[in-house]
Chain A
Amino acid sequence: EAGVTQFPSHSVIEKGQTVTLRCDPISGHDNLYWYRRVMGKEIKFLLHFVKESKQDESGMPNNRFLAERTGGTYSTLKVQPAELEDSGVYFCASSRMDSNNDEQFFGPGTRLTVL
Chain B
Amino acid sequence: DAGVTQSPTHLIKTRGQHVTLRCSPISGHKSVSWYQQVLGQGPQFIFQYYEKEERGRGNFPDRFSARQFPNYSSELNVNALLLGDSALYLCASSTTGSNEKLFFGSGTQLSVL
A, B from the same assembly? no
Enumerate chain A interface residues (CB-CB to B < 8 A). none
